[in-house]
Amino acid sequence: KIVIGPVLELAKPIAFAGGEFRPFVELRGGIETLARVGADVWIGGTHPFAMMARDPSSGFRNGIGRTTSQTNAIGFVLGADHTYVASSYLFPTSHRAVMEKTRTRARFGVMAQREAYGIFAGWTWVSPEFKGQDPKGQVLGSVRFFWNF
């Protein structure tokens, strides 16, 4: 089954010396219909990407397109969000697994860029998504390499 749905994220970046605080609200429809509120803190000067898109699983913002003029950067990101899930195709009512109505994520990542090359590594803790899942939740790992040419 193909499911297409809109995603809307509203955010207010607030710059501070050496970084940025970015609270956000997200509304998502489609495979899961949800509302999410959270914030990210970027530490390390100006973020080297001109445009960003949020990964739906880990919550990290991924750089897309060309980078800004900053060519050498090291930065850290801390973030968290809380989600209310109204419905999910992943947990149909006929299935044994019963979806949790709320979810929480906390994340930490580090990015290093040198000239046209870079790497990002991050970890996200995700609370249980369905009843009966390990109450400790799970940890997701994220790795991204980039090369501008």
Q: What is the pLDDT along the chain (149 residues), one digit of tens a residue?
A: 888 999 999 999 999 988 999 999 999 999 999 999 999 999 986 666 767 889 989 999 987 766 666 667 789 999 999 999 999 988 877 778 889 999 999 999 999 888 778 899 999 999 999 988 899 999 999 999 988 77
**Distances in whole angstroms, Cα of residue 33 to Cα of each of 66, 84, 126, 149:** 31, 9, 18, 38
**pLDDT, mean over the chain:** 89
pLDDT in tens, 14-53: 999 889 999 999 999 999 999 999 999 999 866 667 678 8
The CA angle 132-103-110, to the nearest 5 degrees, is 115
**Burial zone of 4 (CB within 10 Å; 0-12 exposed, 13-18 middle, 19+ buried):** exposed
pLDDT of residue 9: 96
Number of other residues whose CB lies within 10 A of the CB of residue 73: 18
Give the bridge partners for 33, in sequence order: 87
Q: What pTM was computed for the model?
A: 0.88
